[in-house]
Structure 1
């Protein structure tokens, strides 16, 4: 079972190599963070504020390719957590056809946030990510 989440915060730390995306449960109180790189953090930030670069960056390029092929991004799915690494899939649709493409969560979020695409996290992943050490 998957739980609907929303992007609640992005923290870009100017003096660190890792940055943080925080997801919050839509109909609950659970919150968890994913560490991401600067390129992905800046891409998410750029797409959240609607900033359009003069030339397409990687995430804009991929979003354009998806659209030109006649698909739409329907969901970001965070599906697994192994040895501290999150795994995700982008759910793409065209009519009744649905395909899922393997993705890093940060890339999936960077593509999905511009279109206000729903984010779902597998319940098992959410439980493991929100455990207190």
Structure 2
């Protein structure tokens, strides 16, 4: 069954010691994804252009993708169960005249960092957007 996709925008990130809140929005609705503080720190480092002494995990993944000529096509937040979001990372590999799309189960927080690093769009299904709890400022 195909589901309508809604493009999301990255709104902001809020960090505490015990968790990170990533705020996403679409169609006038904003919602939060809670994640590990290390993800928030990595995201903040990327967004602020902060120098890192060594490559972080997302940098490693991105470097591997570039070396293998794998492009991040898109990210889709595909499900919401209780308060846990699920995402799919779509990767495009080309070999001569063949184009191969690989779909990988991923945490939305990891996908968002990779999408921002590669200027790839982030979507969610209409069903997920309808079931998110909207947040106010």
TM-score, scaled relative to structure 1: 0.88
Tell me by how many angstroms 1:50 deviates. 2.6
**Which runs of 5 or more structure 1 residues have no equivalent in the other structure?**
none
Q: Do residues 4 (structure 1) and 3 (structure 2) align?
A: no
Asked whether the 8 Å contact 1:88–1:103 carries over to 2, the reply is yes
In the alignment, is residue 54 of structure 1 matched against residue 57 of structure 2? Answer: no
Conserved in 1, the CA contact under 8 Å of 2:86 and 2:108? Answer: yes
1:86 aligns with 2:89: no
Segments ≥4 residues shifted beyond 2 Å: 49-52
* CA–CA distance in structure 2, aligned partners of residues 35 and 19 of structure 1: 6
**Higher Rg:** 2
5+ residue gaps in structure 2? none
The DSSP-based 3-state class of the residue aligned with 2:50 is coil
Are the aligned partners of 2:76 and 2:124 in contact in 1 as well (CA < 8 Å)?
yes
Q: Given the superposition, is the C-alpha separation of residues 103 and 49 from structure 1 closer, same or farther in structure 2, using an over 3 Å criterion?
A: same
- The question of whether the paired residues in 1 share the 8 Å contact of 2:21 and 2:33 is answered with yes
Verify the 8 A CA contact 1:30 1:130 in the aligned structure 2.
Answer: no
How many residue pairs end up in the alignment?
Answer: 128
Maintained 8 Å contact 1:50/1:114: no
Q: How does 1:26-105 map to 2 (within 5 A)?
A: 28-95=27-94, 96-105=99-108
Q: Give the distance between the partners of 1:52 and 1:126, measured in 2 at CA.
A: 35
Displacement of 1:54 after TM fit?
2.5
Aligned counterpart in structure 2 of residue 123 of structure 1, from 123, 126, 131: 126
Distance 1:52 1:102, change over 3 A: farther
